[in-house]
Amino acid sequence: MEIINDLTMQQVAGLRERFLEQITVDKEIVIDLKELQDCDVAGVQFLVSCLKTVKDAGKMFRLENVPDRFIEIINDLGLDLNLFSMG
């Protein structure tokens, strides 16, 4: 699943639907952040929720192409980036 442009409160609802469709099909959920331009706390909460849902389903989860800006946000929120398995 590729995130294009923003991962903000305005986009989370639509992304949630795509995520729920993907989790029923794929054994491993890969979220590509290569095109990520902006992210807010709602976006981070969305990814944490995705991680929990995937793990509860017994599947694998990872982020790819994580931009420096996302890492900064994670650090600012006091979260451990190792929470996400990154490729």
The dihedrals phi and psi of 30, each to the nearest 5 degrees, come to -115, 125
pLDDT at 12 > cutoff 50: yes
- Banded model confidence at residue 5, pLDDT cuts 50, 70, 90: confident
In 3D space, the residue among 27, 22, 19, 67 whose CA is nearest the CA of residue 47 turns out to be 19
Helices 41-56, 9-25: crossing angle, 10 deg rounding: 20
The dihedrals phi and psi of 28, each to the nearest 5 degrees, come to -125, 130
Domains of the chain: 2-83 (3.30.750.24)
pTM of the model: 0.84
- The pLDDT of residue 33: 93
Q: pLDDT tens across 27-72, in order?
A: 899 999 999 999 999 999 999 999 999 989 999 998 999 998 888 8
